[in-house]
Chain A
């Protein structure tokens, strides 16, 4: 009996082996993606205004989505702005303002309702409930809601009493908020501080004793200390690890590819060739550029492939090699041109165009595999300060997608041309990006998605968007 059970078929796109049982196709026992958790999870932010809750919410959401966990932020302040069109003053937030209290509670409940929809209808796995949630009462409401629906709850509380940090936060993100669009800076800052005072009156932090059975992390003073209680599962453990590695010290990340390689010139993918003469020129130009930036304590990372190491060599500064930064493995298609791939593996070529993110080369990798392989690199990038990463096209697309919050659909088509440095600077809730072409000509290696992605398409249709090469 078990003989037929063990018959497998390989799904053509991702090359995942699944049982070949037409009647039992739905009941696949094997999961090809490790299960991080078995119930939807609500991450509930807790803390006074200007403690970095939205910053953490957005960053964490970006990270979870990037590693493949569908996550969404529900910012209650946004619901409030939709309900109360114009913001007048901090008085809205006084605890004795009964009318306002009703509106604020209704907004919280509306947000919870949307969380429910997100989990049940939109296949979300994690919802970040971004609000102050500073009273026990409000937290009880959330816990009851979660219990009724079978959701796990993990609290993230941010505590900070350093006036300088608070002042800086207010400047960076509050003064430009829609609430203060018609105020001058001084007025806005004063009003906001009074707003914080309103919350302080009723703020009850998570209690080590009374809340001993809840799962949470308390972050003190932007990460100098953490208190972690009752981590329940893998995803919560990963979240804690991530939160403990991020920091807010200003710094710059530079991403670029190796200089043009011999195989680039021939339009061949993968391999381990050296730099072409243009590539060497770029390496020298990169050295000049980097020195001109006068970066403090710059770390330089390369892959294990010759072309990135040669590029780093030209800078004349110590660098570290990461195997995890190696280019995507094209398996049986290594060192082929696109024309050759079309010739030898037309169906594979078409499947790749159908779903470039999930498509895995035979005996090779997919972008999805790349993201998993790059996750420790991202974690270390978060810990570091100024870093220059010299890598490859597909790898750079993955890293860029993380920093710029690009979806899996956009990721494989991000433009990462040769001889161009992307300079990333964290700012407010996101990342500023500057693209700097170092003025050394190179071939174009970017292949857009063609119109026709059918497996029976004509070769001309398939090769329409292939860039020129020798």
Chain B
């Protein structure tokens, strides 16, 4: 007899009820998971080839779609170990002391990778270092094999001097290594640093030595890609993502439709038209767009009337995307919050308990929204200048992606009516500017209530769509024995016997919720 099902109250997911005896394992950790076993992404390339840029962007994307991912930047371990950077001489291949320190930093980082993937429920670790020699890569491959981690290499190859120079100016000159230098000196020193690496650089060789490895070579900032032996879904998604991102300067504008009739009445959802003030905003938006003087602006709307009406005022072509429609409030559609509280008091309370996971009865949750909106993020990455005219919940999802906000923060991000958020990619992140167009509107934002009892009933699944803020890189990585004048070679095998490092700081920014003990293994949710 199949077991009775019960619908979990927050997420409205059907699961077998607790009182039945589980006759056989219902879920496996062997089902098609996006990233099981854990994966180590290994960056490869000379300095200033965009490794850290890709590491961080990829990590932000993977966390947003719910795959716990973290960057381990070996350069930071080195800065911790060697407090003061003097010059490129540190990177000379014949500088024995330095070579030992650098090796130890790499090994310490690997040890933290292992900890992240085995103890902290991480699924993907991005090992951000040059990894330019076969010797170093072989160590990593051994480490992967010993621990049952999949290894995927991302190599960035670029010889365009303009691109390199631009990178150096954008992120190297301002880096802690050069805080006491002037620009010209910094640039000179960095170029010599690159040469130190170039001497021993052995690129991935798809024809012979590395033909059985899984990797992607990104050539000339995405003009060309070589993809070898993709093993699974997550590697396929990573490759697709890398092939869609670009580094052209551009601006993304996010805003909501103008104030609607329903907004005025405090009603959720529906498909009403603009109020008078909403129309005024549409006109103001048209003027704003014109003043921005952009070449080739794409305008996207949802398929709901209020966002299309807003776009109509712009006198420019626009595209309607159903995926940009506001969150479906199911049975609560078109009610005011008061009506919801009256008619569905329990639902109202549950939503405040866990706004990210909460799914309206016959409706959607923020978690569903992220899944729905992901193809749009991919398309936004491909595009250049875009104005997205959408809705409160949808805009919060998009914003969380660009600003690396966790699932916990997302439903409470402030996205007021009649305000445009202007996002400009800069260095490793996104600059955001909030521009109010000076047209009055109601406030539709509900803050997180003070007194909220966090219930235990949220099921967390390894592969569920739960955006996490990318964890902060370890500020103080522990590197064994570096104060010791005699530097010992520490191999990965020996490292397993060392005391474990602690990376508690990362967890505070992540929204990891544990199942309560009464819960049985939940079924796996796909993306």
Chain B residues with CB under 8 Å of A17's CB are 303-305, 308-309, 320
Contact between chains at B224 and A227 (CB < 8 Å): yes
Residue pair B308, A8 in contact (C-beta under 8 Å): yes
Partner of A16, one of B273, B286, B317, B320: B320
Least Cβ distance of A262 to chain B in Å? Answer: 14
Residues of A within 8 A of B32 (CB): 299, 320, 380, 384
Q: Mark A294-324, 1 if CB is under 8 A from B, else 0.
A: 0000010100111001100110111111111
Q: Which residue on A lies nearest to B298, using beta carbons?
A: A35
Main secondary structure on A side of the interface with B: mixed
B303 near A313 with CB under 8 A, answer: no
Question: Which chain A positions have C-beta within 8 A of B3?
Answer: 313
Taking A225-B229, A304-B14 as contacts, is the C-beta distance between A319 and B5 under 8 angstroms?
no
A391 within 8 A of B: no
Whether A6 lies near B23 (C-beta < 8 A) is no
A293 proximal to B (CB < 8 A):
no
CB distance from B215 to the nearest CB of A (A): 10
* Binding-face segment, A140-148, A239-247, A399-407: A239-247
Interface string of B378-398 (1 = CB under 8 A from A): 010010000000000000000
Which residue from B240, B283, B304, B333 sits with its C-beta under 8 Å from A2? B283
Q: Interface centre among A244, A316, A323, by most B CB within 10 Å?
A: A323
Of the candidates B223, B227, B317, the one whose C-beta lies within 8 Å of that of A225 is B227
B312 sits at the interface (CB 8 A) = yes
Q: Are A313 and B5 in contact (CB under 8 A)?
A: yes
The answer for the CA separation of A237 and B303 in the assembled complex, in Å, is 25
Q: Which residues of A contact B139 (CB under 8 A)?
A: none
Q: Given A3-B279, A283-B2, A299-B32, decide whether A227 and B225 contact each other with a Cβ distance below 8 A.
A: yes
Instruction: Name B527's contact: one of A35, A299, A376 (CB within 8 Å).
Output: A376
Q: How far is the CB of B218 from chain A (nearest CB, A)?
A: 10
Whether A369 sits at the interface, judged by CB under 8 Å, is: yes
- B5-30 residues with Cβ-Cβ distance < 8 A to A are 5, 7, 12-14, 16, 23-28, 30
Which of B30, B227, B274 lies at the interface centre, i.e. has the most chain A CB atoms within 10 A of its CB?
A: B227
**Which residues from A are CB-within-8-Å of B30?**
318
Contact B25 A318 (CB under 8 A): yes
Which stretch from B115-123, B145-153, B466-474, B518-526 is at the chain A interface? B518-526
Contact A306 B5, beta carbon cutoff 8 Å: yes
| B515 CB, min distance to chain A CBs, angstroms | 16
Known contacts: A5-B312, A32-B320. The answer to whether A16 contacts B526 by CB under 8 A is: no
Q: Which of B81-132 contact A (CB under 8 A)?
A: none
- Scan B248-275; emit 1 where CB is below 8 A from any A CB, else 0: 0000000000000000000000010110
Say yes or no: A16-B5 contact (C-beta < 8 A), given A34-B319, A321-B523.
Answer: no
B26, A6: Cβ atoms under 8 Å? no
Question: Which A residues are in CB contact (< 8 Å) with B322?
Answer: 369, 372
Q: Which residues of B are found within 8 Å of A314, using beta-carbon distances?
A: 2
Chain A neighbourhood of B13, CB < 8 A = 304, 321
Q: Are A321 and B243 closer than 8 Å at their CB atoms?
A: no
> Cβ of B311 < 8 Å from any Cβ of A?
yes
Given contacts A31-B320, A244-B239, A280-B2, contact A8 B305 (CB under 8 A): yes
Taken together as a complex, chains A and B put the C-alpha atoms of A8 and B279 apart, in Å, by 13
* Closest chain B CB from A255 CB (angstroms): 17
Q: Is the CB of B2 within 8 A of A31?
A: no
- Across-interface contacts of B444 in A (CB, < 8 A): none
Contact A318 B26 (CB under 8 A): yes
Complex CA gap A8/B236 in Å reads: 42
Contact B24 A316 (CB under 8 A): yes
Q: Within 8 Å CB of B39, what residues of A? A: none
CB pair B2–A383 under 8 Å, yes or no, is no
* Inter-chain contact A6/B527, CB cutoff 8 Å: no
B161 at the interface (CB under 8 A from A): no
Q: Are the C-beta atoms of B274 and A6 separated by less than 8 Å?
A: yes
User: Are B31 and A318 in contact, with the CB atoms below 8 A?
Assistant: yes
- For residue B24, which residue of chain A has the nearest CB? A316
CB distance from A373 to the nearest CB of B (A): 8
Residue of A nearest to B311 (CB): A30
Interface string of A244-287 (1 = CB under 8 A from B): 11000000000000000000000000001010000010010000
Given known A224-B228, A245-B236, A283-B2, contact A318–B28 (CB-CB < 8 A): yes
Q: Is A31's CB under 8 angstroms from B286's CB?
A: no
Interface string of B352-388 (1 = CB under 8 A from A): 0000000000100000100100010001001000000
Q: Is the CB of A31 within 8 A of B224?
A: no
- A384 contact set on B, CB distance < 8 A: 32
Within 8 A of A (CB), among B298-338: 301, 303-305, 308-313, 315-323, 333
The distance in angstroms between the C-alpha atoms of A377 and B469, with both chains bound, is 27
B228, B303, B310, B524: the one within 8 Å of A320 (CB):
B524
Binary interface encoding of chain A residues 1-34 relative to chain B, with 1 for a CB under 8 A from any of its CBs, else 0: 0110110101000011101000000000111101
CA distance A228 to B274 in the complex (A): 46
The reply to whether A383 and B236 form a contact with Cβ atoms under 8 Å apart is yes
Is A234 an interface position by the 8 A CB rule? yes
A426 to B125, CA, bound (A): 37
Instruction: Provide the residues of chain A in CB contact with B303, threshold 8 Å.
Output: 15-17, 32
Q: Is B227 in contact with A309, judged by CB distance below 8 angstroms?
A: no
- Decide: A35 near B319, CB < 8 A? Known: A237-B244, A241-B240, A280-B2: yes
Asked if A323 meets B371 with Cβ closer than 8 Å, knowing A314-B2, A383-B236, the reply is yes
Cβ-neighbour of B523 out of A2, A230, A319, A369 (below 8 A) = A319
Knowing A19-B312, A30-B301, A376-B527 touch, does A227 contact B223 (C-beta < 8 A)?
A: no
B312's partner among A8, A32, A280, A283 (CB-CB below 8 A) is A8
Inter-chain contacts of B274 with A (CB < 8 A): 6
- Could you pull out 25 A-B pairs where Cβ atoms are within 8 angstroms? A2-B283, A6-B274, A6-B313, A8-B273, A17-B304, A30-B308, A30-B318, A32-B303, A226-B225, A227-B227, A244-B227, A244-B236, A244-B239, A299-B31, A304-B13, A318-B26, A319-B26, A319-B27, A320-B526, A321-B523, A324-B526, A372-B323, A376-B375, A380-B233, A383-B233
Binding site for A on B (CB under 8 A): 2-3, 5, 7, 12-14, 16, 23-28, 30-32, 206, 223-230, 233, 236, 239-240, 243-244, 271, 273-274, 279, 282-283, 286, 301, 303-305, 308-313, 315-323, 333, 362, 368, 371, 375, 379, 382, 523-527
Q: Other than A2-B313, A6-B282, A320-B526, give 6 A-B pairs with Cβ distance below 8 A.
A: A15-B303, A30-B312, A241-B240, A244-B230, A320-B32, A324-B371
10 closest cross-chain pairs (CB), A and B = A313-B2, A314-B2, A318-B28, A226-B227, A6-B309, A228-B225, A32-B320, A17-B308, A320-B524, A2-B313
